[in-house]
């Protein structure tokens, strides 16, 4: 496994991030534990979750599954760089109870304690703000974070789904208080969705943040979906089905699959390998539902894409161009 440094921190993290969103809703506890054992055995040490994962009436279930895995011992917790998130309403299902969501100091304090209990650990390595909170002053957010760092309950703070201007605002505010600021941004970024290149990634690079990419296969669209359809191996649904209903998108995905087939490459692995070539990227988040999906993702780390393939991918999925030059006429 290849490693890198998480932003401005001293943490060494694997180039692939194990996303746990499917643990609970789609993958039961026993198989989730097996996947985490396999990931750790392969050298993956960066695990990402969120307090809301499990969803609906089962919010928090995913953190609980990680907690029971840590509780098995074997230095599991010590070997993992653990990231979780705060923002979603964790109050009783169907009740919009005040102060049980967003980034108020009260909710951050409440959410950290609840996550620590579910995760069966005494600290969180990377505590991420899941979304922008337009209602809480940034000074209040940083005051709460600083208190938690002083208490040893979290080590670093990161953002998720933040625009470039918010990354700048948060880090400038932190700097004025003599605080460390954000060390990472978790954003939507893949071959089919490259808008992060305009402002988010440049802002992250300017402030020394690591970039963690979610949905690296764009909801399955970049995972060889057309070929799987033709072979009867998969029935397209959800985001992929909606996207492929657009004839232009379907032609684009077909060209993508044809290019990779020509070079003997698996689409899903190539999409992950492409992200690992991108400036500023710490690593993509992979959310395997099975051990086979994890094995496929691990192969991507060692995959070297040729200049011809990289050029072909840029032609099929053109990026925005360098910022700020791309804004010019």
pTM recorded for the entire structure? 0.95
9 three-class SS: coil
Structural domain includes residue 197: yes
Structural domain includes residue 181: yes
Predicted confidence (pLDDT) per residue in 33-57, tens digit: 999 999 999 999 999 999 999 999 9
Task: With beta carbons less than 8 A apart as the criterion, state whether 50 and 287 touch.
Answer: no
Predicted confidence (pLDDT) per residue in 72-126, tens digit: 999 999 999 999 999 999 988 778 788 899 999 999 999 999 999 999 999 999 9
* Structural domain for 71, as ranges: 3-223+267-309
Taking residue 155's Cβ as centre, other Cβ atoms within 10 Å add up to 19
DSSP structural state of residue 57: G
pLDDT score of 191 more than 70: yes
What the block records as the tokens of 125 is 């390595």
What span, in angstroms and rounded, lies between the C-alpha atoms of 78 and 80? Answer: 6
Structural domain includes residue 201: yes
Taking residue 60's Cβ as centre, other Cβ atoms within 10 Å add up to 22
Q: Give the chain's mean pLDDT.
A: 95
C-alpha dihedral (40, 42, 44, 45), degrees to nearest 10 = 40
At residue 237, the pLDDT reads 56
Structural domain includes residue 179: yes
Assign residue 143 the CATH number of its domain. 3.20.20.100
Our CA angle for 107, 113, 115, nearest 5°, is: 95
What is the domain count for the chain?
1
Structural domain includes residue 324: no
Which stretch of 136-140, 191-195, 236-240, 267-271 has the lowest confidence by average pLDDT? Answer: 236-240
Better-scored residue on pLDDT, 114 or 325: 114
DSSP structural state of residue 92: S
pLDDT score of 236 more than 70: no
DSSP structural state of residue 74: T
Active-site amino acid positions: 53
By percentage, how much of the chain surpasses pLDDT 70?
98
Structural domain includes residue 84: yes
Structural domain includes residue 320: no
What the block records as the tokens of 110 is 């409440």
Give the closest residue to 290 by CA, choosing from 14, 22, 16, 60: 22
At residue 166, the pLDDT reads 98
Instruction: Tell me the average pLDDT across 214-228.
Output: 95
156 three-class SS: strand
Instruction: Tell me the average pLDDT across 276-301.
Output: 96
Structural domain includes residue 260: no
311 three-class SS: helix
């Amino acid at each position: 496994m290849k490693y890198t440094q998480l932003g401005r921190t001293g943490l060494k993290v694997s180039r692939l991030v194990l996303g746990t969103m499917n643990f609970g809703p789609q993958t039961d506890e026993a198989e989730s534990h097996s996947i985490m054992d396999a990931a750790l055995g392969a050298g993956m040490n960066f695990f990402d979750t969120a307090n809301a994962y499990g969803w609906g009436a089962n919010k928090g279930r995913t953190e609980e599954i990680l907690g029971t895995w840590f509780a098995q011992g074997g230095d599991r917790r010590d070997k993992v760089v653990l990231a979780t998130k705060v923002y979603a309403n964790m109050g009783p299902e169907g009740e919009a109870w005040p102060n049980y969501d967003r980034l108020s100091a009260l909710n951050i304090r409440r959410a950290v304690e609840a996550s620590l209990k579910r995760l069966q650990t005494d600290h969180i390595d990377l505590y991420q703000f899941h979304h922008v909170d337009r209602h809480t002053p940034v000074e209040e957010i940083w005051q709460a974070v600083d208190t938690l760092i002083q208490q040893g309950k979290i080590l670093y703070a990161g953002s998720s789904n933040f625009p470039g201007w918010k990354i700048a605002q948060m880090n400038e505010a932190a700097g004025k208080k003599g605080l460390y600021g954000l060390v990472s941004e978790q954003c939507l970024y893949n071959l089919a969705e490259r808008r992060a290149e305009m402002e988010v990634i440049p802002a992250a690079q300017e402030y020394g943040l690591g970039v963690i990419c979610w949905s690296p296969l764009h909801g399955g669209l970049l995972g060889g979906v057309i070929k799987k359809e033709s072979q009867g191996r998969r029935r397209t649904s959800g985001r992929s089905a909606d996207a492929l209903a657009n004839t232009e998108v379907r032609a684009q995905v077909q060209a993508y699959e044809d290019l990779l087939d020509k070079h003997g490459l698996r689409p899903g692995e190539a999409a992950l390998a492409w992200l690992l070539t991108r400036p500023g990227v710490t690593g993509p988040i992979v959310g395997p539902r099975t051990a086979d999906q994890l094995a496929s993702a691990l192969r991507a780390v060692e995959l070297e894409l040729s200049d011809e393939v990289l050029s072909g991918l840029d032609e099929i999925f053109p990026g925005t161009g360098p910022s700020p030059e791309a804004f010019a006429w």
